[in-house]
Amino acid sequence: MIKTKITGRQLFSLTAGGSLGGSVLIIAALMASIAKQDAWIGSIVTVITGLPVIWVYVFLGSRFPNMNYIEIIRTVLGKWLGSVVAASTILFYIQGSSHVPWHVGDFITSQVMPETPAYVVNALFITAIAVAALYGLEAFARATEIFLIISTIMFIFAMVLVLPNAKIENLQPVLENGFLPVLKSSVFLSCFITYPLITIMMIYPVGIDNLREAKKSIFTGYFWAGSISFLAILMSILVLGWPITANTRYPAFRLAKEIDVGIIFSRIEFIVFVSWILTQFIINTLFFYAGITGLSQLLKLKNHKILVIPAAFLALIFSGIVFPDVIYQENWIAFGWVPYIITHSFIFPVLILVVYLVKRVIEKHSVNNGKKSKENRNTDIV
Amino acid sequence: MVDIVSILLIIAFCTILCLVEIPRLLRKNQYREFGTFAVLLGAGIIFALMKFSGMTVPNPSDLILWVYSPFKEIMQSLLK
């Protein structure tokens, strides 16, 4: 269905931006509240434990080079179970695309413009996403190349400027409570940097010419995002210490407020915000794009662009409904989002992989059994 | 609390969108696309009118919380 092709470099920036997404600004608080001063070890553990998950995505994609994720689901799991899983995945994508604007609106209304209604901010943000989806994947992928560079430079710049305030004592004692809290915190971080990459599955096998290069760019993008979020968490704990990090709503933003080099560089915390909102834009467009292409795939529509504006309108309305307040949202992250995304980005792909491998073993077995193989294979595929 | 301005804005926006898109879809005989478009936009309008006329809108997050409520204790133990 999608005829546009993107390059490996664009896939790299899509992966890195999508993976950074929501994590940079907010996740350090949750990490620090669980793992305390060892949260930075948790981010290394997350990147390593995420590798097999990314490998599952890459492997599935490389087996079905001309299909997107919804088609892969329906080919492997069959028509009925496949359609149920696909519909659930699409709901997950669309729901995800109305959560991100809530964060943007919440940030703007709580930190910058307290009297502006959140819907105004959300409407601006969603308009940008709808425009990106209307322009198509190619234009959007080219834009992310620039966005990722700006975002990374801004972020590194902020981290370098805040470096003089770092106190190494904030990291001590290392592993005071053992390794278990670190592992627990990595479960939460991986829901923000590893699992959202399921949205890449709607682009990766079908929109790519060179699969070998694509594998490499997905992994490098993932490491890129992993190292930046590691830096964010490490610096938050180094500078603020874990109690402040755990009790601040936007630790990385609070961290950038500490920047005070001479009297020239002060009050420039908004460079972190720029870096954050660009990656938020990338992950939200990925969710949105995956949702509408998936929906038009499932319903066999010829043109997915007709769905962009109604779906964006729906996402805008729900961006003010999904979370009534901050307490609800924090509760939902732990009890709703984590199991929800684990189901869709870990359990389903692994299920598909297992079913695929079992099918292949049966197929091989029937080939070895002799001439009946052809009929068996045909029934297997049907 | 009824928010008249938002409701009027939404009605205006949706009318213009329908006037622009629907004739184009019907001219090309894309009835499947038209159905999906109508369902999505209709749901959007209904929820928007409910939201801005002060009614409580069903929250999809509540549904997800309910679905995963059996795992609540596991998540609770992870948070400590």
Domains within chain A, CATH numbers bracketed: 8-381 (1.20.1740.10)
pLDDT at residue A89, rounded to an integer: 92
Which of A187, A310, A339 faces B40 most closely, judged by CB atoms? A310
> How does DSSP assign A14-40, residue by residue?
HHHHHHHTTHHHHHHHHHHHHHGGGHH
Residue type, A40: W
Q: Is the dihedral of CA A123, A126, A128, A131 positive or negative?
A: negative
Asked if pLDDT for residue A382 goes beyond 50, the answer is no
Q: What is the pLDDT of residue B6?
A: 86
Residue that the structure tokens 């684990």 belong to? A342
Per-residue pLDDT, averaged over A16-38, amounts to 83
Report which of A230, A260, A20 is spatially closest to residue A163, judged by C-alpha positions: A260
Residues of A with Cβ-Cβ distance to B75 under 8 angstroms:
334-335, 338-339
| Tokens matching residue B54 | 């002060």
- Cβ atoms A231, A44 nearer than 8 A: no
Q: What is the mean pLDDT of residues A299-304?
A: 85
Q: Is B22 on the interface with A (CB under 8 A)?
A: no
Hey, is A281 helix, strand or coil? helix
Tens digit of pLDDT for each residue in A50-101?
Answer: 999 999 999 988 888 888 889 899 989 888 999 999 999 999 999 889 888 9
Cα A6 from Cα A94, distance rounded (Å): 23
Closest C-alpha among A278, A262, A237, A263 to residue A104: A278
CB atoms within 10 A of CB B60: 17
- Token pair, residue A240, equals 């603020």
A372: confidence class by pLDDT, cuts 50, 70, 90: low
The larger pLDDT score, comparing residue A378 to residue A345, is at A345
- For the residues A136-153, what does the mean pLDDT come to? 91
Distance from the Cα of B32 to chain A's closest Cα (Å) equals: 7
- C-alpha pair distances (Å), A362 with each of A102, A292, A373: 47, 35, 10
Determine, for residues A338 and B40 on separate chains, whether the beta-carbon distance falls below 8 Å. Answer: no
Short-list A338, A195, A171, CA closest to B77: A338
pLDDT tens per residue across span B42-76? 999 999 988 888 888 888 889 999 999 888 888 88
- Asked if A311 lies within 8 A of B60 by C-beta distance, the reply is no
Of B17, B37, B65, the CB nearest to A332: B65
CB atoms within 10 A of CB A167: 12
CB A351 within 8 Å of CB A58? no
Give B-chain residues touching A328 at CB under 8 angstroms.
61
Q: What is the DSSP string of A202-267?
A: GTTTTTBS-HHHHHHHHHHHHHHHHHHHHHHHHHHHHHH-HHHHHH-SSHHHHHHTT-EETTTEES
pLDDT at B3: 81
Q: How far is A305 from chain B (nearest CA, A)?
A: 10
Q: How many CA atoms lie within 13 A of A177 on its CB side?
A: 18
| Contact with chain A for residue B40, Cβ under 8 A | yes
**pTM for this predicted structure:** 0.90
User: pLDDT (tens digit, 9 = 90+) per residue, A309-358?
Assistant: 999 999 999 998 888 888 898 888 888 889 999 999 999 999 999 999 99
pLDDT at A53: 92
CA distance A355 to chain B (A): 25
Q: Report the alpha-carbon distance of residue A106 to residue A112 in Å, rounded.
A: 10
The contacts of residue A371 (CB under 8 Å, 6+ apart) are none
Q: Do A321 and B71 touch (CB under 8 A)?
A: no
Q: What is the mean pLDDT of chain A?
A: 86
DSSP letter for A325, please.
S
Torsion of CA B37, B42, B44, B48, to 10 degrees: 160
Is the Cβ pair B78, A34 closer than 8 Å? yes
Report the C-alpha gap between A267 and A352 in whole angstroms.
Answer: 50
Reported as a single tens digit per residue, the pLDDT across A211-268 is 888 889 999 999 999 999 898 888 888 988 888 888 888 888 888 888 877 677 777 8
Among B17, B44, B72, select the one facing A335 at the smallest CB separation: B72
Q: What is the pLDDT of residues B12-33, one digit of tens each?
A: 999 999 898 888 888 888 888 8
Q: Grade residue A371 by pLDDT with cuts at 50, 70 and 90.
A: low
| A230 neighbors A48 (Cβ within 8 angstroms) | no
Q: Judge: A310–B44 Cβ closer than 8 Å, yes or no.
A: yes
Q: How far apart are CA A271 and CA A162, in angstroms?
A: 12
Give the contacts of A100 (CB within 8 A, at least 6 positions apart). Answer: A21, A22, A280, A283, A284, A287
Give every CB contact of residue A108 below 8 A, 6+ residues apart in sequence. A116, A118, A121
Helix, strand, coil abundance in chain A, percent, nearest 5: 80, 0, 20
Whether residue A381 has pLDDT greater than 70: no
